[in-house]
């Protein structure tokens, strides 16, 4: 059974996972992502470019559910080509330690994506995460992105043009 201090230390380590993920994907430092995920991680990003009201972004396929660390990282790389500029902002999340080696979290996010001539979007939603402590380190075991809105270029009203 974890002490209160151990729980606080675990929560602090867990709270740093998504912000580190956002920074690494925006910087395209994909080789540093491996340490964030368990070997058997699952990542459901089907809603990455899907607005709950308007549907999937025109001309882009739905992202698959990736199973396994290599598949997850390969999917992230495929979704963030060199020409794509991205800015992901994670906000204060809610976390719960569920056992000595498991936890859950809900992390709100907002993001902007720009692929000149192809895509301009701003979106927001939540990551619903499960975490596991492996070899003394907390990692993301499962992540599910659920969008609340995704605004396309013509709705942004900020002068971004494709």
CB distance 87 to 111 below 8 Å: yes
* Residue 49 CB contacts under 8 Å (≥ 6 apart), including other chains: 56, 57, 60, 63, 121, 150
Measured CA to CA, the distance from residue 42 to residue 68 in angstroms comes to 6
Q: What pLDDT is stored for residue 32 in this prediction?
A: 98
The yes-or-no verdict on residue 145 having pLDDT over 90 is yes
Measured CA to CA, the distance from residue 151 to residue 137 in angstroms comes to 37
Q: What pLDDT is stored for residue 58 in this prediction?
A: 78
The sign of the torsion formed by the CA atoms of 92, 139, 24, 13 equals: positive
Q: Report pTM.
A: 0.91
Measured CA to CA, the distance from residue 57 to residue 17 in angstroms comes to 28
Domain annotation for the chain: domains and CATH numbers: 4-156 (3.10.450.50)
Per DSSP, the chain holds a count of helices (H) and strands (E) of: 4, 9
Minimum mean pLDDT among 6-10, 112-116, 125-129, 133-137: which range? 112-116
């Amino acid at each position: 059974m974890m002490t209160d201090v151990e729980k606080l230390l675990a929560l602090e380590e867990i709270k740093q996972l998504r912000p580190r993920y956002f920074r690494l994907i925006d910087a395209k430092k994909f080789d540093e992502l491996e340490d964030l995920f368990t070997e058997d991680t699952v990542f459901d990003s089907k809603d990455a470019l899907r607005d709950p009201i308007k549907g999937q972004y025109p001309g882009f396929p739905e992202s698959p559910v990736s199973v396994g660390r290599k598949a997850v990282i390969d999917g992230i790389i495929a979704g963030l080509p060199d020409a794509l500029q991205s800015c992901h902002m994670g906000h204060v999340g809610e976390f719960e330690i569920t056992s000595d080696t498991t936890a859950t979290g809900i992390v709100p996010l907002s993001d902007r994506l720009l692929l000149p001539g192809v895509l301009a979007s701003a979106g927001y939603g939540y990551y619903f995460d499960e975490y596991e402590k492996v070899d003394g380190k907390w990692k993301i075991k499962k992540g599910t992105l659920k969008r609340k809105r995704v605004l396309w270029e013509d709705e942004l009203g900020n002068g971004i043009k494709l």
